[in-house]
Amino acid sequence: MNSDSDLQIAGDILEVPHLLQPPREHPATVAEFAGLARSIAADRPHWEPLVRYDAVSRWYHRLRTGPGYEVWLLSWVPGQGSGRHDHGPSSGVLTVLDGTLTERTARGTRAWGPGSQRVFAPGYVHEVVNETLEPAVSLHVYYPGLTEMPMHTAARCTAVPAG
């Protein structure tokens, strides 16, 4: 048996159009949703002028919608938090654009800085808080679009799963 491969590609594979996947207009995979969030994050001149800060409650703005998904821009002044919650049937991608946000889950606490991303599945319980002295901005992509955000007691989020 020959150790060389029987398949050889000659020339530029990108010049073979029938082998390329057509670019999608809208994301359909977790990686594509994370990529969408990164591309929006990189377009600072688009989102930055929209950001507002509200001392009373978290400010939010629906930035974009597509088939079955929504993209939200949120701001967090020092001390603001989400409370412990999940996102119902929605999966999501949380991307920090500015500042630092702290996420608390049953598995622990983690600080997320600019460019950090968290991908989560339906039913994922967490709390997000701005524990710093500077404002923060985050981008949230939900699929399907966010229809509910059930709140949870502290005991339910901090319980360590058995096993």
Task: Tell me how crowded residue 91 is: count the other CB atoms within 10 A of its CB.
Answer: 18
Q: Is 126 annotated as a binding residue?
A: yes
Q: Is 18 annotated as a binding residue?
A: no
* φ/ψ of residue 142, rounded to 5: -120, 135
Q: Is 87 annotated as a binding residue?
A: yes
Tell me the C-alpha distance between 8 and 39, whole Å: 35
Mark the binding-site residues, compressed into ranges.
85, 87, 126
Mark the binding-site residues for Fe cation, compressed into ranges.
85, 87, 126
